[in-house]
A and B are shown apart, each in its own frame.
Chain A
């Protein structure tokens, strides 16, 4: 069947629906797990979120990996959150591939432009 080899909008919808669902389920599961670790270790302490305070290094971007190795609940939560933020971005990457398979050059460009904007935004902390 010729129709099977051609990539269609309906296929794209199935793939994107799947990416979004898996992304949310996996990242929220990680957040819940990290939350349990965090509450187990710090549940009885006093919270302080009234004013902006510098966060510990193990929840900052550079320190998360080490934080997970040290089994910090908040590092695990933060990893889940970063994965959650990455889910819609992953969706654009999959859309770009789908548009490329459909040979829709205009929409490949549009998708890449959206990705570029998010990329610039994600390095803004290092330039401004």
Chain B
């Protein structure tokens, strides 16, 4: 196999990962790591480094569009980024000392959980009751809804902050955006309306990824030869995915299909990790 073929295989795989990641809402990083490690036998640290770079690209690209629509709660995002970046730096440092087959098993497990989470029904909720801390931090916001501006309040700021620490830790440890966990924390714990939580989570992923990526960069785990096709491929796939999401109303069966794909990849990852092949 030559470098050219190797690069083309990663490029095609990354397009697929970006597409699946955007259709399931899991993010491209999740799928590219098993592809690189199981099929192409790339060292998992390189795979994580490349994945981090690609999630920075996709989240920044889509955040640019969301921010202009005025749905993203930038104060909430900035405040929670304290937690996600601290977590991310700790996770990235930790990853340097954890054996690769352990990382594979952890990633596989988290992947299965997130895939199942992504099938969860999303209920729109607007909370009006005031939390003193949210008030003080100016976290309550509004967004343009179908019939005028919707005002919302935020509860349990402390609880959300702690879960964000954990989300950041996973992000730095495994090179994923942990968007599913971020959204879950904002939805279920802080009672942020779903529209706001998804865009704000996406907004935070870039900064969280950057905080981990600088650690991987210094340790030499960001390899340009691998990251190049991954970034380009994931971006193309993610853009195609968002086009499909806009154009097809009933993407239900598509989600199911890809969740099954993700589950198969995850179990492969766990199996290979346990027998020590990664």
Interface residues of A (CB under 8 A from B): 9-10, 12-14, 16-18, 20-21, 23-24, 27-28, 31-32, 34-35, 38-39, 42-47, 49-52, 54-55, 59-61, 73-75, 77-78, 81-82, 84-89, 91-92, 95, 104, 106-107, 110-111, 113-114, 117-118, 120-122, 124-126, 128
Given A88-B207, A114-B207, is A78 in contact with B224 using a C-beta cutoff of 8 Å?
yes
Does B89 lie within 8 Å of A117, measured CB to CB? yes
Q: A23, A31, A61, A107: which contacts B75 (Cβ < 8 A)?
A: A107
CA distance A50 to B39 in the complex (A): 11
- The digit string for B232-256, where 1 denotes a CB below 8 A from any CB of A, is 1001000000000000000000000
Does B214 lie within 8 Å of A122, measured CB to CB? yes
Does A125 lie within 8 Å of B215, measured CB to CB? yes
Query: Ordered nearest first, which 8 A-B pairs have the shortest CB separation?
Result: A125-B218, A88-B206, A77-B224, A43-B4, A20-B64, A122-B214, A21-B64, A74-B224
CA distance A110 to B82 in the complex (A): 8
Q: Is the interface of B mostly helix, strand, loop or mixed?
A: helix
CA distance A73 to B273 in the complex (A): 34
- In the assembled complex, which residues on chain A have CB atoms less than 8 Å from the CB atom of B40? 49
Q: Is B12 an interface residue (CB 8 A)?
A: no
User: How far does the Cβ of B51 sit from chain A's closest Cβ, in whole Å?
Assistant: 13
- In the assembled complex, which residues on chain A have CB atoms less than 8 Å from the CB atom of B113? none
Does B70 lie within 8 Å of A61, measured CB to CB? no
Does A20 lie within 8 Å of B224, measured CB to CB? no
User: How far does the Cβ of B8 sit from chain A's closest Cβ, in whole Å?
Assistant: 9
CA distance A118 to B219 in the complex (A): 16
User: How far does the Cβ of B238 sit from chain A's closest Cβ, in whole Å?
Assistant: 11
User: How far does the Cβ of B75 sit from chain A's closest Cβ, in whole Å?
Assistant: 6
B212-231 contacts to A (CB < 8 Å): 212-215, 217-229, 231
- A to B CB contacts below 8 Å, 25 in the list: A17-B63, A17-B64, A21-B64, A31-B231, A32-B232, A34-B224, A35-B7, A35-B228, A35-B229, A44-B4, A47-B2, A49-B46, A49-B223, A49-B225, A59-B224, A84-B53, A85-B56, A87-B60, A87-B210, A104-B138, A110-B79, A110-B82, A117-B89, A124-B214, A125-B218
Does A89 lie within 8 Å of B207, measured CB to CB? yes
Does B3 lie within 8 Å of A43, measured CB to CB? yes
Q: B42, B65, B235: which contacts A28 (Cβ < 8 A)?
A: B235
- In the assembled complex, which residues on chain A have CB atoms less than 8 Å from the CB atom of B89? 117, 120-121, 124
Q: B3, B60, B68, B223: which contacts A39 (Cβ < 8 A)?
A: B3
CA distance A10 to B6 in the complex (A): 45
Q: Is B135 an interface residue (CB 8 A)?
A: no
